[in-house]
Amino acid sequence: MFSKIICLLGFAAIARAGLLAAPLLHAAPAVDYYAYPKYEYKYGVADPHTGDHKSQYEVRDGDVVKGQYTVAEPDGTLRIVDYTSDSHNGFNAVVRREGHAIHPQPIAKAYLSAPIIAKPLIAAPLSLGYGHDHY
Does the global pTM surpass 0.75? no
pLDDT tens string 17-67: 655 555 556 777 777 678 889 999 999 999 999 888 999 999 999 999 999
Beta strands in the chain (DSSP E): 38-47, 52-61, 64-72, 78-86, 90-98
Q: Which secondary structure element, helix H or strand E, spans residue 9, and what is its range?
A: helix 2-17
